[in-house]
Structure 1
Amino acid sequence: MSEPAATQSGQGPASRACGGGVGAAGARFASLTPLLNPRSVAVLGASTDPTRIGGRPIAYMRKQGFAGRIFPVNPRREEVQGLRAYPSVADLPEVPDVAVVAVSAELAVPAVADLAAAGVKGAIVLTAGFAEVDEAGAEAQARMVATAKAAGMRMLGPNCLGLFNARIGFYPIFSSSFENGWPRPGRIGIVSQSGAYGTHLFAAARDRGLGTPLCVTTGNEGDVTIGDVIGWLAEDPETDVIAAYAEGIRESEGLLAALAAARAARKPVVMMKVGRSALGTAAAKSHTASIAGDDAVTDAVLAEFGVVRARTTEEMLDIAQLASRRIYPARNTLGVMTMSGGAGVLISDAADELGVPMPEMPADAQARLKALVSFCAPRNPVDCTAQAFNDFSLVGRFADAVAGDGGYSSILCFFSQIGGAPSMVPKLRTELNATRAKYPDRLYVLSVLAPPEVVRDYEADGFTVFEDPSRAVVAIEAMGRFGAAFAAAPDAAPPSVPVVALPAATPSEAEAKRLLAEAGIPSAPERACPTADAAVAAAASFGFPVVMKILSPDILHKSEIGGVLLDVADADGVRAGFATLLERARAAAPAARIEGVLVAKQLQGGVECILGIHRDPVFGPVAMFGLGGVFVEVLKDVVFRRCPFGEDVAERMIRSIRGAPLLLGARGRQPADIKALARMLARLSVFAHQAGAAVQAVDLNPVFAMPEGEGAYAADAVIEIGGT
């Protein structure tokens, strides 16, 4: 059966004008139109030399037929590249939509001021020497940005390579990549913080035959950010796919709004976010003056919005190429047809590694295929064998079975060199096209080795071609992620949590648990005890065994000093433990404030988990969940999510970790109380969101997830108070 129509990409916002989004975000995106789609342009620092930075934009636009007006600005020339030149912005015959600034850094700041005063709506500042260099450069950049914002002028850069919009012949850019060819028509938009790498992506796409008519490089992002451009492309009716390269996320609000707009418009975003390593992060900061942030957090935020993260340029272009088909299966299943058993195994391994389901063909369909070729392999992969050489109608009959009986949303056919052999290509195309005509809603991918002109024929038929079948599987898996994101129901609202009044300084464990209790986050029964007698009374009320911990706002990591005692079994043990804990605390931290000892009921039979909050410098509070012990310390089996969120999201987080079977009842274990754990995690996310910058971190470790129906309880809690 075919995928429902809802899994296919419809027109989305194609009927809306660019920037047609509602509210502040839509207006913010729309304000880029003078930059990206202008009717007139001034070039400050215009050069008569078409190979110089100030000369290339004019030469490119004239060669590519920019229909708007071009105004060179150069006080030492009356004419530049056959166009009348003007000595200053004030001398221009009209106010241009946009201006290219290609002058030295000391002249760029007053030049932007002149443009702002003239009422120009957009400035593209190619000039370097600002925040990417030193503090003085950062201060000059801030002055320039403030001037532009005060006038309502959007500014791209500084320290950017520029952009191009090939649809209108607009080339305010100084890249030399066009000497080897111009952009091809198409519906893939590129945005990149790095100018050189952005044009590298364009050139690589061009050489592969992909159409990327619009590319924007953002440089230092003094004003216009990568999120702004993604948002504009999300609203652009002529863009279907967005490819982005980021070194660091400088501003989160615009990016989140843009990714939400792209998802709502059913436009896939494939992003190469570099800076994963410590060395890469340092390079990103020095190159674009960006905050790279924590990579695991960035990964979680991108996944939240259905963005697929590419590891390499090749992978990014593979995904963008397949996404251009605009078929995004919400429930992705892969059917494989091959003439090679070995290729079928290779593809199956790749699909298993990526988690792409490959269900078996129905039993009756397998029987029919066996009747056609007794020695075929009909399960999935479906191997029609070399018998197809003798009877090419077998290709069509096997393909019909995979598409019709198998009902797979994605179909990968491996024909290797057969798919490029002149004696085979016409017959193969005839059979495959017949199947595609019967089942047009599927995602069809071929793995063949063929001359470029043959590949173009297959592509024109509606098939996407990859030489390497493993690369094809990666791209197919990405289409499923896009489809799932586009089809997902809205998340439930976060729970209502009282706003908790926080202290000015980091509280003790007992106080931290009291604050969390106000937010509805329960802890194991416990009592703060200033004396040994009080500790004995508390233990007797809870019942033995108990846990004893040193209580001090200055000792957050108690286990590191031996400040936690487990399995304290009787009153004598409590008295001895009280003395031991005080002695260890005084020895390890003589200046620490000691408030006594915390006595708690020792929980039995639960699964140890860790719940935490980390304040990311870009995205704000981010929640973490994982299993405790070795799972978090060694395996790092944790999941992150931007705060706040509801219990449905929390439960998905819990079920997504590799160790989830330990909570779900693996090997006869009693299932843990997942609902209670999700409720605690969701409430913690709201607590952190409401606290804002006042809370720098929260650590609940361990949290005991008790057997189903018995709740979840924090056994230890740390709340680190930071700035406001």
Structure 2
Amino acid sequence: MAPDFSRQHGLDKLLAPASIAIVGASDNPDKIGGRPIHYMRRHGYTGTLYPINPQRTQVQGERTWPNLDALPAAPDLAIVAVAGEQAVQAVNRCAELGVAAAIVISAGFSETGAEGRAQQDAMTARARAAGMRIVGPNSQGLANFGNGAIACFSTMFLEIEPADGPVAVISQSGGMSAMVYGLLRQRGLGVRHVHATGNEADVTVADLACAVLRDPEVRIVLLYLESLQDVGALAHAAALARERGVPLVAVKSGRSEAGARAAASHTGAMASEDRVVDAYFEHHGILRARDPHELVRIAELALRSPLPQGPRVVVVSNSGASCVLASDAAIEHGLQIAPLADPTQRELVNRLPGYATTTNPIDITAALLSNNGLFGQVLPVIADDPAADMFLIDIPVAGRGYDVGTFAADTAAFAQASTKPVVVVAWQDNVAAAFRAQGVAVYADEQQATRAMAALHRLHQWQARNAGHRHALAHRDSSTSTQTNPESTTTDAFGSLHSRSSFLSESQSLALLSRYGLTVADHTCCTDADAAVAAWRAIDAPVALKACSARLPHKSEHGLVTLGLNDECTLRDAFDRQAKTLAALGIDDATWIVARMQDGLHECALGMRHDPVFGPVIMIGSGGKYVEAMQDVALLLPPFSAEDVIEKLQGLRIGTLLAGVRGDPPADIAAFARQAVQLGDCALAANGKLASIDINPVLVRAQGQGAIALDALIELTTTPDPENP
């Protein structure tokens, strides 16, 4: 019987092994093969250790074995800390002996090029055939401080003393896992899991994220990613995190082209377009941090406060300048500074000196020096004000004469009684330490604080918007959502697509989109001038004449689109010119579209690209001939809702125009959003058969009057069949 090789198979043996073999064990705790033994002896690992060293009878007080074959039983886990071919041989022998999992610390595999990748792939295939899981190669190892299974050689655990806690850190990079661990511990946060996956020949960051989310003591999971090899596994981790109410926060490096190249040389990672990564994270409710420092700042606030229920921040400071900086930073990151209610302001007037500011932000001034209880007097007054979803206490300077201990105690008492986040800004180490000792989240400046607050607000927005909604979307059969005859949709619409090129003609493209519920311009297909004239007469209004062929996807640049035709003579002249152009280009399969000229308020665009990693990605935004120059677009991953589309549009420049400005009526955003949802359904149902879809322009009319696709171009990924054009 073939071994069970589901993604979660064997991961328990990595995180909670009952026995561990160390191949290449060293008596020196500063050697790679010695440090895991030192750590596990020091931090209370209660399982069995099997050091493998043919040159010694003992290492670090533990009995050794000369080789894997000499062991009394197959261990749950093997740490492979030997180099080159010895590492490959050790992994192969582990698989043959029935070892459940191996951590391959050795480097020199896929990160070195094609030869190293081939060696890595062969080694992994043999392990997979035996049902053995592999972490690495090129891995720093795994550490579980909940049970002392520290199969890792990081020096950071010597530099900063471990403490068990609610955080799990999982990283492709060993250096980044250690850095994030160190930053967390410097902030007084306990860390339970610190895992580095290296080249990810088998076990990925996403696999381990799923595993640690089953640990009930884990309250937040932090990820460092250089590549996204299995977006399905990461989506599953995000779903588990959502079910448990555990924030999933990630740094995805390689934002720039240079960074992507560096990531590839580091772990053999493959880069993905960064905007698509953003869309994927947002779709699944994964918070994205810019760097490890921000990752830790978000973690501190998430662990020390509830999620904010809204975007409004009340700022309290003893400096007018800090009030201004905090307000600017909050607005910059999408938060709000709302005025306090009149009753709140009246009560503040009674408690603060006459020269203090009692609106929002609240400047309690230098009076704090003479009255150390001001924070304790002010905070309860603003606790339930309608303008307060979060509180930011900004202390630019506090030294001799300031009772920082009282400030911290009063703030902590307020935070513990509040159901809203309380954040402190204090750049002085001693001031920050006093607040942090009381369990309050502290940041060095206003930008750091408000970015963390905005991140938690985004998480709350995502949870609120997708409670029940996203789960339903993720499990619906999108191929049946807009069709009256769903059983035949995929076969009829996609199974018989053929073209003499990789594109469909405009008429074929519009027909396919119409089948998926998109509203497209009424048009007639013609093959000669007489038929075009007849079509115009039937429309009895100005028309557009467009020559279309699958072999000529871009018509306008060849003069094959003529607009505003409204008499027979000019229509025939336009037809003749286009026919001559086609003949010169060698196009012999063209048809002509005759379509009524349309009017509306705004030209928008819809698009789809099939990403090799993420699948279909939908683009929405400004359209028309300047679409490339404007770059006023947003991305979504289907399935999504019309509400998701509208929210994205509101963040674009065209969103303001669509809402109606300078007397213009509001546009029918809801109709455009429905078109986008239907395009997402179409892309999902195509199941990879469509490489791209370009719908430009989509003419959006006044509210209640709809939106209509005027032009479309579909690119196929299926092999063209020249015998069936």
The residue type equivalent to 1:503 in the other structure is L
1:220-299 correspondence runs (5 A): 220-299=199-278
CA contact (8 A) 2:56 2:64 kept: yes
- CA distance in structure 2 between the aligned counterparts of 1:693 and 1:715, rounded to whole angstroms: 25
Letter in 2 for 1:382: I
Partner of 1:42: 21
Aligned ranges 1:484-503 → 2 under 5 Å: 484-488=461-465, 489-491=467-469, 493=473, 494=478, 495-497=481-483, 498-499=489-490, 500-501=493-494, 502-503=496-497
Q: Is the 8 A contact 1:165 1:214 kept in 2?
A: yes
Specify which of 50, 61, 73 is matched with residue 71 of structure 1.
Answer: 50
Residues 619-667 of structure 1 show CA distances to partners (whole Å, capped at 9, x for unaligned) of 1111111121377323322111112334343443444433212222233
**Is the Cα–Cα contact under 8 Å of residues 339 and 387 in structure 2 kept in the other structure?**
no
The correspondence of residues 124-135 of structure 1 with structure 2, limited to 5 A, is: 124-135=103-114
Check the 8 A contact 2:338/2:387 in 1, yes or no.
no
What are the superposed Cα offsets for residues 368-417 of structure 1, whole Å, 9 maximum, x if unpaired? Answer: 32244322211110112222333334332221222133562311111232
1:340 pairs with 295, 302, 319, which one?
Answer: 319
For residue 20 of structure 1, what is the aligned residue in structure 2? Answer: none
Equivalent position to 1:384, from 357, 360, 364: 364
Higher RCO (CA < 8 A, seq sep 6+): 1
Q: Match for 1:152: what amino acid?
A: G
Which residue identity does 1:481 align to in structure 2?
R
Question: TM-score, structure 1 length as denominator?
Answer: 0.91
User: For residue 715 of structure 2, what is the aligned residue in structure 1?
Assistant: 720
The equivalent residue for 1:663 is 658
1:21 maps to none
| Residue 482 (1) aligns with residue 459 (2) | yes
Query: 1:594 and 1:210 mapped to 2: Cα distance?
Result: 69
Instruction: Describe the shift of the 1:34–1:282 C-alpha distance in structure 2 as closer, same or farther (beyond 3 A).
Output: same
Aligned to 2:374: 394
Partners of 1:356 and 1:87 in 2: CA distance? 63
Judged with a 3 Å threshold, the aligned counterparts in structure 2 of structure 1 residues 462 and 46 are, in CA distance, closer, same or farther, namely: closer
- What residue identity is the alignment partner of 1:570? D
1:11 match: none
SS at match of 1:404: coil
Q: Deviations over 1:73-100 (max 9, x none)?
A: 2344433333222233222112222111
CA contact (8 A) 1:622 1:643 kept: yes
Matched residue, 1:582: 579
Corresponding residue for residue 350 of structure 1: 329
In the alignment, what sits opposite 2:388? Answer: 408
1:700 equivalent in alignment to 2:678: no
**CA offset at residue 53 of structure 1?**
2.6
Residue 640 of structure 1 corresponds to 635
> What is the CA–CA distance in structure 2 between the aligned matches of 1:626 and 1:58, rounded to whole Å?
57
**Alpha-carbon distance between aligned partners in 1 of 2:583 and 2:307, rounded to the nearest angstrom:** 62
2:180–2:293 CA contact under 8 A, matched in 1: no
Task: Trace 1:221-620 onto structure 2 (pairs within 5 A).
Answer: 221-372=200-351, 373-406=353-386, 408-418=388-398, 420-421=399-400, 423-436=402-415, 439-452=417-430, 455-488=432-465, 489-491=467-469, 493=473, 494=478, 495-497=481-483, 498-499=489-490, 500-501=493-494, 502-505=496-499, 506-587=503-584, 590-620=585-615
Q: What stretches of structure 2 of length at least 5 have no aligned partner?
A: 484-488, 720-725
What's the secondary structure of 2:149's corresponding residue? coil
| 1:537 maps to amino acid | A
Closer, same or farther: CA 692–267 of 1 in aligned 2, 3 Å: same
Q: Which is worse superposed, 88-97 or 472-481?
A: 88-97
Q: Distance in 2 between matches of 1:510 and 1:543?
A: 21
Residues 47-95 of structure 1, C-alpha deviations (whole Å, 9 max, x = no match): 3343333233223323333222111123444333332222332221122
C-alpha contact (below 8 Å) 1:281/1:292 kept by paired residues: yes
**How many Å separate the matches in 1 of 2:275 and 2:413?**
46
Question: How far did residue 268 of structure 1 move?
Answer: 1.3
- Aligned partner of 2:192 among 213, 224, 243: 213
**Contact 1:654-1:678 within 8 A present in 2 as well:** no
Instruction: Tell me: CA distance 1:54–1:561, structure 2 relative to 1, closer, same or farther (3 Å).
Output: farther
Aligned to 2:722: none
Counterpart residue type for residue 422 of structure 2: Y
Partner Cα distance (1:345, 1:178) in 2? 41
* CA contact 1:30–1:232 (8 Å) conserved in 2: no
- The Cα of 1:44 is off from its aligned counterpart by 1.5
- Per the TM alignment, residue 447 of structure 1 is displaced from its structure 2 partner at its CA by 1.9
Once the 2 structures are TM-superposed, how far is the Cα of residue 586 of structure 1 from its aligned partner? 4.2
For residues 514 and 429 of structure 1, the distance between their equivalents in structure 2, rounded to whole angstroms, comes to: 67
Give the drift of 1:38: 1.7
Q: CA-to-partner distance for each residue in 1:595-626, whole Å, 9 max, x for gaps? A: 13222211112421111111111111111111
Contact 1:330–1:482, Cα closer than 8 Å, also in 2: no
Question: Residue type matched to 2:356 in 1?
Answer: C
C-alpha change, 1:586 and 1:709, in structure 2 (3 Å) is same
Cα 1:174–1:396 shift into 2, 3 Å: closer
Q: Cα offset for 1:421? A: 4.2
Partners of 1:626 and 1:638 within 8 A in 2:
yes
Distance (whole Å) between structure 1 residues aligned to residue 441 and residue 670 of structure 2: 44
* Secondary structure at the counterpart of residue 693 of structure 1: coil
Change (3 A) 1:512 1:232: same
> TM-score with structure 2 length normalisation?
0.90
- Describe the shift of the 1:722–1:205 C-alpha distance in structure 2 as closer, same or farther (beyond 3 A): same
Q: Residue 192 of structure 1 corresponds to which residue in structure 2?
A: 171
SS at match of 2:665: coil
Q: How many residues align?
A: 695
Q: 1:51 to 1:592 in 2, by over 3 A?
A: farther
Q: State whether residues 582 and 588 of structure 2, in contact with CA within 8 Å, keep that contact through their aligned partners in structure 1.
A: no
Q: Output the CA distance in 2 between the equivalents of 1:323 and 1:569.
A: 64
* Higher mean displacement: 427-436 or 273-282: 427-436
Contact 1:330 1:481 in 2 (8 A): no
Q: Is contact 2:22-2:50 (8 Å) kept?
A: yes
Secondary structure, aligned partner of 2:383: helix
In structure 2, how many angstroms separate the alpha carbons of the residues matched to 1:205 and 1:281?
26
Identity among equivalent positions (%) equals 36
Following superposition, the deviation at residue 723 of structure 1 comes to 4.0
**CA 1:461–1:175 in 2, change beyond 3 Å: closer, same or farther?**
closer
- Between the aligned partners of 1:487 and 1:714, the Cα distance in structure 2 is 32
Q: Secondary structure at the match of 1:550?
A: strand
CA distance in structure 2 between the aligned counterparts of 1:248 and 1:147, rounded to whole angstroms: 24
Three-state SS of the structure 2 residue aligned to 1:668 is: coil
CA distance in 2, matches of 1:709, 1:442: 40
2:680 counterpart (679, 685, 688):
685
Q: Which letter maps to 1:633? A: E
**2:369 touches 2:402 (CA, 8 Å); kept in 1?**
no
Given that 2:339 and 2:360 are in contact with CA atoms closer than 8 Å, whether structure 1 keeps it comes out as yes
Report if aligned partners of 2:415, 2:421 keep a CA contact under 8 Å in 1.
no
DSSP-derived class of the 1:320 partner: helix
Q: Secondary structure at the match of 2:654?
A: coil
**SS at the partner of 2:423?**
strand
Deviation at 1:673, TM superposition (A): 2.2
- Tell me which of 140, 145, 159 is aligned to 2:124: 145
